Amino acid sequence: MANIISDETIEYVGILAKLELSDKEKEQAKKDMGSMLDYIDKLGELDTEGVEPMSHVFPVENVFREDVVTNGDEREAVLGNAPAKKDGMFAVPRTFEG
Amino acid sequence: MGKQYETVIGLEVHVELATKTKIFCGCSTAFGAAPNAHTCPVCTGMPGSLPVLNKQVVEYAVAVGLATDCDITRVCKFDRKNYFYPDNPQNYQISQLYLPICRNGHVDIKTADGTKSVGIHEIHMEEDAGKLIHDEWEDCSLVDYNRSGVPLIEIVSEPDMRSADEVIAYLEKLRLIIQYLGASDCKLQEGSMRADVNLSVREVGAEKFGTRTEMKNLNSFRAIARAIEGERARQIELLESGQEVIQETRRWDDTKECSYAMRSKEDAQDYRYFPDPDLVPVHINEEWIEQIKAAQPEFRDEKMARYKAEYELPDYDIDILTESKHMADIFEQTVAICGQPKKVSNWLMVETMRLLKEQEMEPEDIRFAPENLAKLIALVEAKEINGTVAKEVFEKIFDENIDPEKYVEENGLKTVNDEGALRKTVEEVIAANPQSVEDYQNGKEKAIGFLVGQTMKAMKGKADPGMVNQLLRELL
């Protein structure tokens, strides 16, 4: 494997993804990420001179909605799956302003 | 001798667009609904939901770009900005990083040293987040997603401003442009216009910029000015004492007039942007731009020229009336009813501006109906009420949008035009004030003013002062 993922990197990626990994899982993740990066390096060998970066697989453009209200009050359904709710709102662990 | 410092300021201005629906779904953007009444699977980030772009958002963004001399990006795309926070249900915000819709523009502002051009780095489209309410009683926060998905444009300036005055001038100019386009009402207090201030200081003459901080939570022009002064002083103090400015986001507390750092390293600012695969690219061709241009409403300069030609108003009046689109709208609607441009202009320029200032309001906050101002002007015109009463009634119109005809009737404020009644009061006043009468007869012009005042008082203000004056002179 050409790409070696450091302990710091896997720790940082864990924080960004809000994942708590066990030591065993960390080792596996390091290996997986390394081989993924190897594959990306392989793609990097291709000559892409003059090729537009692709952000969408279908050649579709300009799909729009008109500015017309189509949705009604769906509070019941929207809150239906909430693990906790109060006063018609989603209740979440306390956050500090910011 | 102390070092001289220069302040370098760039602004990120978020503007809520005046669309009827959200940016990616058909939920209403109307303000003030019950919590979560304007939500659906798309704006609450349900798995499997598909966002579809509101065409009007693109058209407003292009219109603002054209009005600020930007280049319009012919192929633009949306990207995901990834972060965790409960007001962001998808765990990413749909925004534009790589190909924003507008770039390289500028607006010209008036400063003490003449006209200055402030560069616009870019304008991009994005979605707003929900609102968090911190529960007083339980250890939790409550989320209302009505605002989630409301369309925003973010206007990013170049670091071209050097003082609070320039920042305010820039914001006022932007607000005027956007209001005239009808793209937003731009109310700072209500959050439909929000400005984040990026500020650094450097020694005068230095080439390199200093380390900057970003200041948030600024919801009035005054707060912005105070925050700029406060942050400039804080940074200079750090440098003078041999410390360094840390690049961070700070939150301004306007009541305490100080700021504090907002984020810790726990939430690292690494947004891992990538193109949003749910949304297809937006191609904007010449034809579409021409259509948007053709649909643009009258701009301020055009309006000013029209007011001069059509209403023959002095430049001074035109300047004040057109400084706010809302004010100009009220002016035109009132004139359309009563056909008295100069009179309408006077009520708006003098009394309305005075009341706005007294109550610390913006012209956008004017709530009275043009019909009521037109009725008031007609009452004065017909001499049904005098000038003093009219001002009193106008305050009621301004505060409570009352119907002046009814109000005058119900409160018995009509001018007494009955000469008999007036003559009787004048005679009484003359009899009661022999000293003033003598003074007047001895050539003291001033004394008549006192007698007019006494008569008006006796009439409870409901007389025509001209008529009182005339009667007094006649009887003396």
Residue B454 sits in a domain whose CATH number is 1.10.10.410
Q: Do the domain assignments include residue A98?
A: no
Nearest CB partner across the interface for B142, out of A18, A75, A87: A87
Do A69 and B27 make contact, defined as CB atoms within 8 angstroms? yes
The parent domain of residue A31 ranges over 7-44
Instruction: Name residues whose C-beta falls within 8 Å of residue B128's C-beta, 6 or more positions apart in sequence.
Output: B14, B16, B147, B148, B149, B150, B151, B152
The parent domain of residue B382 ranges over 298-410
In a mutagenesis test of the B interface, which of A15, A20, A63, A65 is the best target, namely the one with the most B β-carbons within 10 Å? A65
Do B86 and A62 make contact, defined as CB atoms within 8 angstroms? no
**Cα→Cα distances B158→B105, B125, B467, Å:** 10, 18, 63
Please name the helix (run of DSSP H) or strand (run of DSSP E) that holds residue B330, with its range, or none: helix B325-338
The answer to whether the CB of B193 falls within 8 A of the CB of B15 is: yes
B260 pLDDT exceeds 80?
Answer: yes
**Do B187 and B311 reside in the same domain of the chain?**
no
In a mutagenesis test of the B interface, which of A40, A54, A64 is the best target, namely the one with the most B β-carbons within 10 Å? A64
Q: Do the domain assignments include residue B293?
A: no
Structure confidence by residue, pLDDT tens digits, A49-86: 998 877 777 889 999 999 999 999 999 999 998 999 99
- Please report how many Cα atoms fall inside a 13 Å half-sphere around the Cα of residue A7, on the Cβ side: 3
Instruction: Name residues whose C-beta falls within 8 Å of residue B135's C-beta, 6 or more positions apart in sequence.
Output: A86, A91, A94, B141, B142
Find the radius of gyration of the CA atoms of chain A: 22
Q: Provide the CA B464 distance to its chain's centre, in angstroms.
A: 39
Least Cα distance to B194 among B236, B231, B233, B223 occurs for B223
**Do B371 and B252 reside in the same domain of the chain?**
no
Residues on chain A touching B283 (C-beta within 8 angstroms) = 61-62
* Share of residues in chain B with pLDDT > 70 (%): 98
pLDDT (0 to 100) of residue B263: 65
Q: How many domains, in total, are found in chain B?
A: 3
- pTM of the model as a whole: 0.82
pLDDT (0 to 100) of residue A96: 64
CATH code: domain of residue A32? 1.10.20
**Do B306 and B259 reside in the same domain of the chain?**
no
Least Cα distance to B254 among B215, B199, B206 occurs for B215
B270 band by pLDDT with thresholds 50, 70 and 90: confident
**DSSP assignment letter at B311:** I
Dist CA B476 CA B473 (whole Å):
5
The answer to whether the CB of B135 falls within 8 A of the CB of B142 is: yes
Instruction: Name residues whose C-beta falls within 8 Å of residue A97's C-beta, 6 or more positions apart in sequence.
Output: B134, B251
**Do B278 and B305 reside in the same domain of the chain?**
no
Q: Does A82 touch chain B (CB under 8 A)?
A: no
**Do B275 and B396 reside in the same domain of the chain?**
no
**Do B222 and B313 reside in the same domain of the chain?**
no
Nearest chain B CA: its distance from A28 CA (Å): 22
B398 band by pLDDT with thresholds 50, 70 and 90: very high
* Share of residues in chain B with pLDDT > 90 (%): 68
Dist CA B284 CA B294 (whole Å):
15
Q: How many domains, in total, are found in chain A?
A: 1
Q: State in Å, rounded, how far the first CA of chain B is from the last one.
A: 74
Dist CA B442 CA B440 (whole Å):
5
**Do B276 and B390 reside in the same domain of the chain?**
no
A11-25, B17-31, B157-171, range with the lowest pLDDT: A11-25
Nearest CB partner across the interface for A56, out of B56, B251, B277: B277
CA torsion B232→B235→B236→B242, rounded to 10°? Answer: 180
Q: Which of A:18-77 have CB within 8 Å of B?
A: 18, 55-58, 60-71, 73-75
Nearest CB partner across the interface for A98, out of B54, B86, B251: B251
For residue B182, the SS3 value is: coil
Structure confidence by residue, pLDDT tens digits, B272-310: 999 999 999 999 999 999 999 999 888 888 899 999 999
Scanning the structure block, which residue is given the tokens 């230095």?
Answer: B206
Q: Does A15 touch chain B (CB under 8 A)?
A: yes
B75 pLDDT exceeds 90?
Answer: yes
Q: Does B260 touch chain A (CB under 8 A)?
A: no
Do A68 and B20 make contact, defined as CB atoms within 8 angstroms? yes
Q: Do the domain assignments include residue B161?
A: yes
